[in-house]
Structure 1
Amino acid sequence: MSLPRLGVVIVTHRAAEVIDACLDSLLAAPGVALRVVVVDNASPDDTVARLRGRVAPAPHQLEVIEAPNGGFAAGVNRGLERLRADPGLARFWILNPDTIVPPKTPARFATHPAPEGWAMIAGRVLYAEEPGGIQIDGGVIDWRTGVTRNLNQHAPADATPPDPARIDFVTGASLVASRAFIECAGPMPEGYFLYYEEVDWAQRRGTMPILHCPEAVVRHVSGASIGSAGARRRASPFSEWFKHRARIAFLRRWRPRSVPGGLAFAVAKAGQHALRGDGAAARATLAGAFGRGPTRAVREEMARAGIDPARL
């Protein structure tokens, strides 16, 4: 009897410290045949050297693609393009490199019952850091401000799963998309560069449902390469500029009347940063939300990351 198959896309950037642990856990998965494509977005460290030395054990396959840093969605789309050329793949798992995959998770994603014409499957993402509660069980959108919220965030790892009908989007840290959805919605939108790509993508599903598989668990060291806020870490100016820039762009596309609410939220967030003494994050928040170019702190980090401002 042949094994169920699952395509996997991992986008890396400065992932040398985490990619080995991710692939070690992923490629040890039993009961499934994985075809893994890692797309490296111009890592300045030795991520690619580590990847080039790896060989996937049977029945799994591993391929590495080196690409310019065109952002998260651009990397995802490169990987999906390669995998979709394989007619034997109907499910595609987008996975962060800063995750650890328990042994049964890939097979659970590959075999989770799904109705005709489904869009996405959300799994359960746990914080890798202690105490290790839930980071996200699927996300919802506050359409007054564009702010997203993680369902069951900080709840115990065995918390009751949410009703899938409540889920507005699936985190790009662990997202399974169907071939039918990709053919209907098109590739993941690349204009955001970072943040809100998966939120926007999910809005393109029409009536295609989002499913939830709580047994498909990954552990996530959130924001390891881009400076997002984590369980014990404040967001960097780099993260704040991209996040607030993306939120307003998302609202302009999907709910223009809520742009004032989104801007008001950004002003309040900048004030919060200022009160904490983090002027760099405050300035980056306002610059991103109000359509101004990256601040000095953000430009410096973009240069270190090999990001061409002309791509934004």
Structure 2
Amino acid sequence: MNTPKVSIITVNYKQKEVTADLLRSILLSGYPNLEVILVDNESDGSDETFYCSHYPGLRYLYSPENVGFAGGNNLGIQASNGEYLFFLNNDTEISSGLIEHLLEGFADHQVGAVSPVIRYAENPTRIQFAGYTAIHPLTGRNSPLRQLPTESWSESPYFHGAAVLISRKVIEQAGVMPEEYFLYYEELDWSEKIRKNGFQILVAREVSIIHKESISTGKNSPLKVYYQTRNRIRFMKENSSLYGLFLSFFLLVSFPKNLLRLPEKHRNAFWLGCKDALVRKQFGWKNPVYFRA
């Protein structure tokens, strides 16, 4: 059996026990040719022994600054040696045979990235992701498909950032994960770049992971509202030929709707996201102190 070297890259941000669960699952997965890289965001490096106790041979990288989801993954890319790179959220867990099956998707050389089905950890019978719809040109939003596709391999316009296997040759052509977003929409932008370079994105119906969704940011936190609002505007400007139409809809419909319906903390985060995207044109990291009560 062909077992190319796979580099697993995961980014941790102050979630030691959650990340340890992932490392234990990787150890039990059984793939024989793995390199596991953990990027520890906003860390002093003192937790290296803890993580290595859960995965002997772990390559531990720490960043004194929080460089975000994309920045952390890019540090992992720079340090990696695998022919394929498997990006996993630290709040996921994998199972035996997953990696082998995902690699089968690359039998077609036009395939650039493969995601598994993603299930909710609290109820694995529920599907979080089995592909994505296209981004709507007016709203700048899309939706995950929550039913298994009929085909074993189905094409999707975007992969899910929580779990995706990408070949190194694709990254060399399309570039690394865009860091300007810091958090949210970066995997959609990266998907666009990969497809523009002529590669397909697949979802593997037969395998899945579990995902403890939004542990670091909170499922409906003001921080999440800020980044999703700001980055949705940036994504559409970078990738949509109908950006002017989107912006008109956003300002006339989405903007007043959100200011009316959101709770105060979330409304302030939404307003700040709009201001940073449209007026200040500031992207990257935002100090979380802005989003505290």
- TM-score bracket, normalised by the shorter chain, equals 0.7 to 0.9
Equivalent residue number for residue 12 of structure 2: 12
Question: What is the match of residue 25 of structure 1?
Answer: 25
Corresponding residue number in structure 2 for 1:70: 67
Which residue is equivalent to 2:144? 150
Name whichever structure is richer in helix by fraction. Answer: 2
Paired with 2:267 and 2:24, the residues of 1 have a C-alpha distance of 39
Shift of the 107–262 alpha-carbon distance from structure 1 to 2, 3 Å rule, reads: farther
Secondary structure in structure 1 of the residue aligned to 2:29: coil
Name the aligned partner's letter for residue 106 of structure 1: I
Measured in 2, the distance between the counterparts of 1:282 and 1:130 equals: 31
Question: Match of 2:89?
Answer: 96
Q: How far 1:268 moved relative to its partner? A: 2.5
- Cα 1:147–1:267, aligned 2, differ >3 Å: closer, same or farther? farther
Indicate yes or no: 2:229 matched with 1:244: yes
Offset, 1:107: 2.1
Distance 1:216 1:270, change over 3 A: farther
Cα distance in 1 for residues equivalent to 2:269 and 2:207: 36
CA shift, 1:2, in A, is 6.3
- Would the alpha carbon gap of residues 132 and 289 (structure 1) be closer, same or farther in structure 2, given more than 3 Å must change? farther
Of 232, 249, 256, 1:261 maps to 249
**What SS does the corresponding residue of 1:150 show, helix, strand or coil?**
coil
* Counterpart secondary structure, 2:117: strand
Question: What aligned pairs does 1:1-312 form with structure 2 within 5 A after superposition?
Answer: 3-43=3-43, 48=48, 50-56=50-56, 61-67=57-63, 68-83=65-80, 86=81, 89-130=82-123, 132-140=125-133, 141-152=135-146, 155=147, 160=150, 164-165=154-155, 167-205=156-194, 206=196, 207-227=198-218, 229=219, 235-255=220-240, 256-257=243-244, 258-263=246-251, 264-273=253-262, 278-291=263-276, 299-301=287-289
Shift of 1:190: 0.3
Is the CA contact 2:89–2:162 (under 8 Å) kept in the aligned structure 1?
A: yes
Distance 2:73 2:109 in 1: 24
Which secondary structure does the structure 1 equivalent of 2:179 belong to?
A: coil
What SS does structure 2 have at the residue aligned with 1:17?
helix
Query: How far apart in 2 are the matches of 1:118 and 1:13?
Result: 31
TM-score by length of 1: 0.80
Aligned to 2:111, the other structure's residue is in SS state: coil
Report if aligned partners of 2:39, 2:60 keep a CA contact under 8 Å in 1.
yes
C-alpha RMSD over aligned residues: 2.7
Shift of 1:283: 1.6
Rate the CA distance shift 1:181–1:172 in 2: closer, same or farther, 3 A: same
* Count of residue pairs brought into register by the alignment: 278
Q: Is the 8 A contact 1:16 1:46 kept in 2?
A: no
Residue 64 to residue 121, structure 1, CA distance change in 2 (3 Å): same
Q: CA deviation digits over 1:149-204, x for unaligned, max 9?
A: 1112xx4xx66459734x22111100111112101111110001110111001111
> Take 1:215 and 1:30, find their aligned partners in 2: how far apart are those partners?
18
SS at match of 1:198: helix
Structure 2 residue ranges without an equivalent (≥5) = none
Residues 103-132 of structure 1, C-alpha deviation per residue, up to 9 Å, x if partnerless? 221222233343114221121000111264
When residues 188 and 51 of structure 1 are mapped into structure 2, their CA distance, relative to the original with a 3 A threshold, is: same
Q: Distance in 1 between matches of 2:153 and 2:271?
A: 35
- Provide the secondary structure at the position in 2 that maps to 1:215: strand
Please list the CA deviations of residues 201-259 of structure 1 after superposition, one character each: whole Å capped at 9, or x if unmatched: 111121211122122311001100112x2xxxxx1001111111110111111122222
Uncovered stretches (5+) of structure 1, i.e. residues with no partner: 230-234, 305-312
Between the aligned partners of 1:62 and 1:268, the Cα distance in structure 2 is 47
Contact 1:15-1:47 within 8 A present in 2 as well: no
Distance of 2:290 and 2:90 partners within structure 1? 20
Quote how far apart the aligned CAs of 1:303 are. Answer: 9.5
